[in-house]
Amino acid sequence: VTDRPLAAVVVVGSEILEDGRFDTNGPFIEKSLGLAGFRPILRLVVGDDREAIAFAVREASARASIVVVSGGLGPTFDDLSREGTADALGTTLARSPELESALRERLRRRGMTPPESVYRMADVVPGAEILANSVGAAPGLLVKGPPSIALVPGVPAEMEAMLLSEVLPRLQALHPGAPSLRRIFKIAGLYESEVEGLLSPAMPRWGDLGRTILASPGEITFILRGDPGDGERLESARADVLRILGGAIYSESDEGLECAVGRLLASSSMTLATAESCTGGMLGGMITSVPGSSSYYLGGAISYADDVKGRLLDVPAETIARHGAVSAETAAAMALGALERTGADLSLAVTGVAGPGGGSAAKPVGLVHLALGRPSGAIGRELRLTGDRGMVRLRACRAALDLLRREVFGSRREERA
């Protein structure tokens, strides 16, 4: 489907292999390369080991015309990406006097007198271009191949700044490849298998367009991909997806439900409050992760203990005694209490059994009651969610946001589709 230049990523760091830490650099670099018009085909993760780095750079170079090496550029003894890359290229490092004096000047200005070994950072692969680090001390390197090999730091903020402003523009100039076309659909309120089942009758019409379904608890991402000549086919496939999935699509860009719902609230000048039991503040935390959320989110109560449901939300003790803390009645009372107490236009309430303990035959783990509060009253929804405690809570938060989106802004989406 593609003739984009192939790219490979080498991630260096023993802590990634030995301690189960997540590497976020590999995914960031690959996504950025993809958006810049290249096609990532391989990632190698190796430890702080000169021979292993050399192996990885050699293998990456043999299979891709662009190689990005992340990590191992610092001053300490276990920073070996410069040496490993030189080994892979069959050359030896040379000290750059300009770089060394720039580093001396930088450290002097900061009042630091580090050991001389720090100037290892001025050793360069002969002929490589030096890349500025706008965030930290370690410079990057670009070997203009073929293949092109870029060495960037492992500290995420340094890597990101250098990749976007120094590396990608140079790679795009060296390897003119057409950017690939991509359409993204973010979907809430359907399971992965439902999305697949609904779309499958249309798929034969799409030919060899690339397609991916990615499921996260309560949120599905569907991606269509084509080459530059596929524009028309991609638009017709997009029309199929919009028609079939309709209001289940909450966005056509790669954003969370909390961003899309926040935008709807901001543009309608309505305010929101929350009342949370089993999610314990997670819903509020998710809503306020969006910059600018103070323009529509007022706050609310975390009524984890039953007594606090009365104290902060005026849920009658009798409602809880009769129907239980996890019930449609309690959810509705929480939603209306939050509305009343905060003065918001809308409210969302969540109460449920997140597990692993606390379930019963009548109210099993995964049972969640949501309520959307409006001045005219509360609308409830009962959910039976699967997964562990973290997944039940995450699904519950997203289902609450989706309830608000569909009930309050449902028509908005239909207009667009």
Say how far apart CA 142 and CA 82 lie, in whole Å.
Answer: 11
Does residue 55 bind a copy of itself (CB under 8 A)?
A: yes
Residue 390, number of CB atoms within 10 A of its CB: 12
Instruction: Using CB under 8 A, count the residues that bind a copy of itself.
Output: 81
**By CB under 8 A, what part of segment 214-273 binds a copy of itself?**
214, 221, 223, 225, 273
| Amino acid making up residue 185 | F
Q: Considering only the stretches 115-123, 233-241, 339-347, 409-417, report the one whose residues sit in contact with a copy of itself under the rule CB under 8 A.
A: 339-347
- CB 33, CB 40: distance < 8 Å: yes
Peptide bond preceding 375 in cis form (omega within 30 of 0): no
For a copy of itself, the closer of residues 17 and 99 by Cβ is 17
Q: How far is the CB of 9 from a copy of itself (least distance, A)?
A: 8
Q: How far is the CB of 166 from a copy of itself (least distance, A)?
A: 20
Query: Which of 137, 187, 224, 282 is in the footprint of a copy of itself by CB under 8 A?
Result: 282
C-alpha distances in Å from residue 207, one per residue of 200, 202, 211, 225, 230: 12, 10, 10, 11, 10
Does residue 40 bind a copy of itself (CB under 8 A)?
A: yes
Does residue 384 bind a copy of itself (CB under 8 A)?
A: no
Q: How far is the CB of 272 from a copy of itself (least distance, A)?
A: 10
Which class for 386: exposed (0-12), middle (13-18), buried (19 or more C-beta within 10 A)?
Answer: exposed
**By CB under 8 A, what part of segment 104-133 binds a copy of itself?**
none
Token pair listed for 323? 């129907």
For a copy of itself, the closer of residues 19 and 232 by Cβ is 19
For a copy of itself, the closer of residues 128 and 282 by Cβ is 282
Query: Which of 74, 262, 355, 366 is in the footprint of a copy of itself by CB under 8 A?
Result: 355
Query: Which of 356, 364, 375, 410 is in the footprint of a copy of itself by CB under 8 A?
Result: 356
Does residue 311 bind a copy of itself (CB under 8 A)?
A: yes
Phi, psi of 381 (to 5 degrees): -150, 135
The contacts of residue 186 (CB under 8 Å, 6+ apart) are: 219, 220, 221, 249, 250, 251, 252, 253, 254, 255, 256, 257, 260
Query: Which of 44, 64, 68, 370 is in the footprint of a copy of itself by CB under 8 A?
Result: 44
Token pair listed for 30? 């690959």
